[in-house]
Structure 1
Amino acid sequence: MYQTILLAVDVNDLPESGHVAEAAVRMAREEGATLHVVNVIPGSGMAMVGSFLGPEQANAIKTEARDKLTAWAKEAIPEYLLGKLKVTQGTIYHEIIKAAQELSAEVIVVGAHRPALKDYLVGPNAARVVRHAPQTVLVVR
């Protein structure tokens, strides 16, 4: 049914992503699908903050995130299932949906963080992906 699956993870919270990755790997294995992985570095917000950090710092952050994601993926995802690893920066839910579109993913797998009272059941980024993505979205708790 699915040929391409996108798994969204946070490299700063990889231990929490383990059970989400297990669900995505299981789905990819059962479907015979390729599993792509995306990590989104949150945007710096105000332009003033971004200009203060400078391009060297932004590149260093992205390189570190890519290295962490690559090392984690080698351990968490069988090589025969693994597609592309993507590190991007911006608004988290928007970048996840954009990556899914670019990769022609039929399903997006995201984790739900521990909810605060205001976002009961699903975290704010997962909820936005669910609401705005044209693909099927699997939220793993």
Structure 2
Amino acid sequence: MFNHILAPVDLAHIDRLTRALEATADLARHYGIGVTYVAVTTPQPGKVAHSPEEFADKLDAFAKGQASEHGITAAAKTVVSHDPAVDLDHAIREVRQEIGADLVVMGSHMPTLGDYVWPSHGGKLALHAHASIFLVREHED
């Protein structure tokens, strides 16, 4: 049914993605397909890494850890942007097309009033990506 999963991750908040990461691994095992974990960083030092190269190394280590822990095939893709919050949606769409992923699995939050005015990253992706989008709620209130 699916050929490849793209899973956006935020290395600074990996603890908030538990359910999305579990769903990603379960789907990858179920369909016998690979996962590409994608993350967006800045060229400037941040709280995760001092450089884009260090960030890419950490994302690669994360992907290898997920592969080992869950028995899946995984890769990592780092995107460098001057404004990750603004460029995230575009970066995910570009990487999805580049790697040929036909399923995106990503964590989501409970909608707030602002989400009705400005759609979430997952909502925008669902409107514009030519792939299935699986939004995983991390916390139910």
TM-score by length of 2: 0.77
Contact 1:18 1:76 in 2 (8 A): no
Contact 1:28 1:81 in 2 (8 A): yes
Contact 2:8 2:105 in 1 (8 A): yes
Bigger drift between 30-39 and 64-73 goes to 64-73
What residue in structure 1 maps to residue 78 of structure 2? Answer: 87
**Percent of counterpart pairs with the same letter?**
28
2:35 matches 1:5: no
Runs of 5+ in structure 2 lacking a partner?
Answer: 82-86
For the aligned residue pairs, the C-alpha RMSD in angstroms reads: 2.6
Q: CA deviation at 1:80?
A: 5.0
What residue in structure 2 maps to residue 138 of structure 1? Answer: 134
Rounded Cα–Cα distance in structure 2 between residues aligned with 1:22 and 1:123: 25
User: In structure 1, the residue corresponding to 2:41 is in which secondary structure?
Assistant: strand
What residue in structure 2 maps to residue 46 of structure 1? Answer: none
What residue in structure 1 maps to residue 97 of structure 2? Answer: 101
Contact 1:112 1:123 in 2 (8 A): no
Contact 1:115 1:123 in 2 (8 A): no
In the alignment of these two chains, the number of paired residues is: 128
Runs of 5+ in structure 1 lacking a partner?
Answer: 43-49
TM-score by length of 1: 0.77
Partner AA of 1:125 in structure 2? H
Change (3 A) 1:9 1:123: farther
Q: CA deviation at 1:124?
A: 1.7
What residue in structure 2 maps to residue 27 of structure 1? Answer: 27
Q: CA deviation at 1:12?
A: 1.2
Q: CA deviation at 1:101?
A: 0.4
Rounded Cα–Cα distance in structure 2 between residues aligned with 1:20 and 1:108: 10
Contact 2:4 2:100 in 1 (8 A): yes
